[in-house]
Amino acid sequence: QVQLVESGGGLVQAGDSLRLSCAASGRTFSSYAMAWFRQAPGKGREFVANISSRGGNTGYADSVKGRFTVSRDNAKNTLYLQINSLKPEDTAVYSCAARLGTIYSIYRGLDDYDYWGQGTQVTVSS
Which residues have a Cβ under 8 Å from the Cβ of 108 and sit 6 or more positions away?
35, 47, 50, 59
- Residue 10's pLDDT is 97
Asked if 20 and 6 count as a contact pair (C-beta separation under 8 A), the reply is: yes
- Residue 1's pLDDT is 84
Instruction: Calculate the alpha carbon distances from 59 to 16, 51, 87 in Å.
Output: 23, 7, 20
- Residue 27's pLDDT is 74
Provide mean pLDDT across the span 65-80: 97
Checking if the pLDDT of 79 tops 80, the result is: yes
